[in-house]
């Protein structure tokens, strides 16, 4: 079973919720292991975030799941990762912290060049940021 770190729209309750994605495709649900973090910077693309991996940066928060093999192509499709094509997101394996212990996870970062001019999400938490942003926009 692959282990993944999801930090944006694949998190529970978000538009691409990993559990709902599995259900839509008739795939066994993923197993939530807990909340994790990785060193990097999160940026606001509008309807989704992008993670730039950066060992010198703060912490980006996400959820760590063990997923069925059949769910990995679904994640690649959601993140528009296609073999042999240059895309915004790439899939790579990195060490992520889970309850203070390192664990290898697949994740989907973006290149530094992709975030030029975009707002940084200083908290490193997409869900909290999006909720606050959307509440402020609705009140305006």
Tell me the two tokens of residue 134: 């959307």
Q: What is the pTM of this model?
A: 0.93
- Please tell me the predicted confidence (pLDDT) of residue 86: 82
Q: What percent of the chain has pLDDT over 90?
A: 88
**CATH at residue 37:** 3.10.490.10
- Banded pLDDT at 136 (limits 50, 70, 90): confident
pLDDT(45) > 90 = yes
What is the DSSP secondary-structure string of 87-114?
A: -SB--EEEEEEETTEEEEEEE--B-GGG
pLDDT at residue number 84: 80
Question: Whole domain around residue 55: which residue ranges?
Answer: 3-139
Q: How many domains is the chain built from?
A: 1
48-106 confidence digits (pLDDT tens): 999 999 999 999 999 999 999 999 999 999 999 987 888 899 999 999 999 889 999 99
Average pLDDT over residues 9-22: 94
Average pLDDT of the residues of the chain = 94
* Alpha-carbon span 67 to 16, nearest angstrom: 15
């Amino acid at each position: 079973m692959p282990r993944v770190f999801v930090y944006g729209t694949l998190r529970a309750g978000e538009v691409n919720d990993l559990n709902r994605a599995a259900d839509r495709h008739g795939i066994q649900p993923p197993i939530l292991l807990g909340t994790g973090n990785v060193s990097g910077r999160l940026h606001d693309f509008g309807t989704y975030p992008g993670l730039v991996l950066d060992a010198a940066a703060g912490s980006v928060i996400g959820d760590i799941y063990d997923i069925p093999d059949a769910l990995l192509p679904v994640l690649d499709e959601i993140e528009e990762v296609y073999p042999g094509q240059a895309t915004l997101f790439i899939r790579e394996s990195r060490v992520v912290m889970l309850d203070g212990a390192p664990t290898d996870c697949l994740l989907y970062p973006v290149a530094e060049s992709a975030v030029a001019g975009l707002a940084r999400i200083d908290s490193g938490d997409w869900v909290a940021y999006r909720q606050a942003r959307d509440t402020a926009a609705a009140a305006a």
